[in-house]
Homo-oligomer: A and B are copies of this chain.
């Protein structure tokens, strides 16, 4: 193998070894059996499976979206958390600094790759974050429905442990209403049931 090919391969391996750390980034959402918190790597896998199963429910253009692109967005979407951590959806102070922390993380992590792949993978992450392409919008809606189902089937999950209000949850789930609209009645049923049970707090 030519030295430059070897150097390229070593950068690819270094990136893949670094990516292993995503398995130690904990989210607020518990596993369905409530035995522990979910990590961002297994969450990412679950998004891909969810996208494959629920794609038929996507709105108009997203139903015809490039599924390969959407899956690739989901594979890379949380890698920045290796440095930036998982930012809790319902923590406004942390959300305010999220963009800067994640951009710095993207600078470091993607540049472990050879330059052409660093650009390619960073572009995937930026596309996911920008939420403009149909694939990114679909991926975002999937990134909302997966933790909702996880919370619903673990008895309330991060809603109950973090004192979240109905309005907060409804705002957070809005991408489902626009991009996976066939699921919206189910989402409302779940939110209403957990609100009625006092797990999700009424109010702003």
Which residues of A approach B to under 8 Å, CB–CB? 1, 5, 9, 12-13, 15-17, 19-24, 31-33, 35, 38-39, 41-42, 44-46, 48-50, 52-54, 57, 67-68, 71-72, 75-76, 113, 117, 121, 146, 149-150, 153, 182-183, 185-186
Is A71 a contact of B48 with CB atoms below 8 Å?
yes
Give the residues in chain B near A72, CB-CB below 8 Å. 52, 71
Q: For residue A9, which residues in chain B have a CB less than 8 angstroms away from its CB?
A: 57, 182-183, 186
Assembly of this chain: how many copies? 2
B24 and A31 within 8 A (CB): yes
Are A76 and B54 closer than 8 Å at their CB atoms? no
A31 in complex: contacting residue of B20, B53, B121, B153, CB < 8 Å: B20
In the bound complex, CA of A16 to CA of B19 (Å): 25
Contact status A24-B33, CB under 8 Å: yes
Contacts known (A31-B23, A39-B42); A76 close to B49, Cβ less than 8 A: yes
Q: How far, in Å, is A7 (CB) from chain B's closest CB?
A: 12
Q: Which residue of B lies closest to A186 (CB)?
A: B9
